[in-house]
Structure 1
Amino acid sequence: MRDVLQVPIVEPASRPRAGAIPQDDYDLSTPWHSHDMHQLQYVFSGMIEVEDDHASYLLTRTLAAWIPAGVAHTTSLHKVRSGSVLFAPDMIPDAGDRVRIVQVSPLMREMVLGAMRWPLKEAQDSTGQAYFAALAPLCAEWIKEETPLRLPTTRDPKLQVAAAYTCKHLKGGDIAAACAAAGLSERTLRRRFRSVFGMNWDEYRRRARLIAGAAMLNEGRLPIGHVAAEVGFESQSAFARAFKSLTGKSPREFRAN
């Protein structure tokens, strides 16, 4: 059974009902934990990894993670510019019971940036109270529209090894190498991927390639054909078709957003 730390973000008696935490100087991978406020985690630049009991998520500046109060998760933040907006649970009652990843609209980005004016650990003026009272119902709307840029996770140690190998070797790895890394036969690995992840190994690798491609589209100005090759696709057109099938956007549209 995994230990989950119950982490009060700020002493409940002294904190406002909502506020922000700038996280520009964080360099850490957290233990599994939960906290007593809802959290909207946003990346201004760089990438953050978030994992809960259902899936792992890679956040870039086009994406934000919604982490409801009480949901166990772990987060890796390494020299990125990011920030979180926190809400008392009753400000967004229908918050869900798992991490959700949402596409960041221009309005969300500006609202999150504006929220950094009111750090959670400081007393809040009436303007700040009104700001977060307006932001909370917007968050309730935003979290209804999830993106598919996520990978399922498992506690099975052999599948963890196989999945980690697959994600690390998107360009050159194959199922035989993933099997060797995990100590499983190909037949067993394929069966367990389908049973545990709800997708076969080839689908899992394809999803991992597209998530990595999304991060590259977001973080730089590399030509789309170069991105496609770097994450293991044979052609730009194959990458574009797969990307649009998963996200509903072409790589160019995703980058433009």
Structure 2
Amino acid sequence: MSVIKTDPGCDLGLIPLAAMDRRPFAGAIIQDEYDINAPWHHHDMHQLQYAFEGSMEVEDEHGRHLLPRSLAAWVPAGTRHRNSLHRIRSVSVLLMPSCVPNAGHGVRILRVSPLMRAMLAEAGRWPLAEPMNSTGRAFFAAFARLCREWIADCAPLTLPTSTDTVLNKALALVRADPAGCTLAEAIAVAGLSERTLRRRCQLHLGMGWDEYRRRARLLASLEPLTESDQSIAIIAAGVGFESQSAYARAFRHFTGQTPQAFRQTVRK
């Protein structure tokens, strides 16, 4: 089992993913046994990271990305980031920069279609550290071409982060229980007044407390929305919205799509 105990606030710099003497153009790393809160680092290859069950977190300098089974993270080569995953079935697919020349900047969140999920599962046949056969080369060539389409349709699904350790106590409470967390509970956990909590949210997150909690609730709705057949009304109530219409308005404002349209897009 891989366990990283390094201070997640430090920066490990470049972590090479391909040995200089062989430089494979692509490959996969199975992460099922990883139990990590990784420090800041960056790679010399593009990375598409995905959890087949549960969820993981990926953070770059612009925000925290929560990834349930309906979402994957695209991390272009050179992007400074850190991630957390704990004993869940997951995989990273790595591609040399030349495979996807217009990879973008910063972490991008991708909707996971059935095709992407199937290819991510199949990619495990070719571990990065092992020789690549002709079938693997053809597979990853097709995968890289599809990545160009997938990253052009990224989803605006993220939560901003803060360096304020006191504020982070309140934010962690929201992320742990977006449906049930109240302002009074967050104030008590952080030891702040309501006015100070709201002011710090605006200062450090660029949004108010209510908007942060709304986004957390929307993110919590993604897994049941895309991985179950629950009605939109039940999902809305389950993540803390007072009505289906309020949930639908917030979802459309956040993603540009209705919940039903998002569900259909992911399931294509």
Q: Please indicate, yes or no, whether the TM-score normalized by the shorter chain is above 0.5.
A: yes
Identical pairs, percent? 55
Q: Verify the 8 A CA contact 2:70 2:227 in the aligned structure 1.
A: no
One-letter identity of the residue aligned with 1:4: D
Instruction: Could you list the structure 1 runs, at least 4 aligned residues long, displaced by more than 4 angstroms after superposition.
Output: 219-223
Give CA-to-partner distance per residue, 1:23-82, whole Å, 9 cap, x none. 233333323322221100122232111112211112122211001222222222223222
- 1:246-257 matches, within 5 Å, as 246-256=254-264, 257=267
- Deviation track 1:150-191 (CA, whole Å, cap 9, x = no partner) reads 100111212212211222342333323323322333223222
- Residue 137 (structure 1) aligned with residue 149 (structure 2): no
Give the TM-score taking structure 2 as reference length: 0.84
Q: 2:19, 2:150 → 1: CA distance?
A: 28
**Change in CA separation of 1:171 and 1:133 when aligned onto 2, cut-off 3 Å:** closer
Q: How does 1:139-218 map to 2 (within 5 A)?
A: 139-218=147-226
Q: Which of 218, 223, 242 is the matching residue for 2:250?
A: 242
Q: Distance in 1 between matches of 2:35 and 2:224?
A: 21
Say if 2:15 is the partner of 1:3: no
Cα distance 1:173–1:2, how it changes in 2: closer, same or farther (>3 A)? Answer: closer
Q: How many residues align?
A: 257
Worse-superposed segment, 245-254 or 85-94: 245-254
Q: Given the superposition, is the C-alpha separation of residues 218 and 77 from structure 1 closer, same or farther in structure 2, using an over 3 Å criterion?
A: farther
- Structure 2 distance, partners of 1:108, 1:220, is 18
Distance 1:19 1:28 in 2: 21
Gaps of 5+ in 1: none
Check the 8 A contact 2:18/2:24 in 1, yes or no. Answer: no
| Structure 2, gaps ≥5 residues long | 1-7
Q: Indicate the RMSD between aligned Cα atoms, in angstroms.
A: 2.4
TM-superposed deviation, 1:220: 4.4
Deviation at 1:8, TM superposition (A): 2.1
Structure 1 residues 247, 175: closer, same or farther in 2, change over 3 A? same
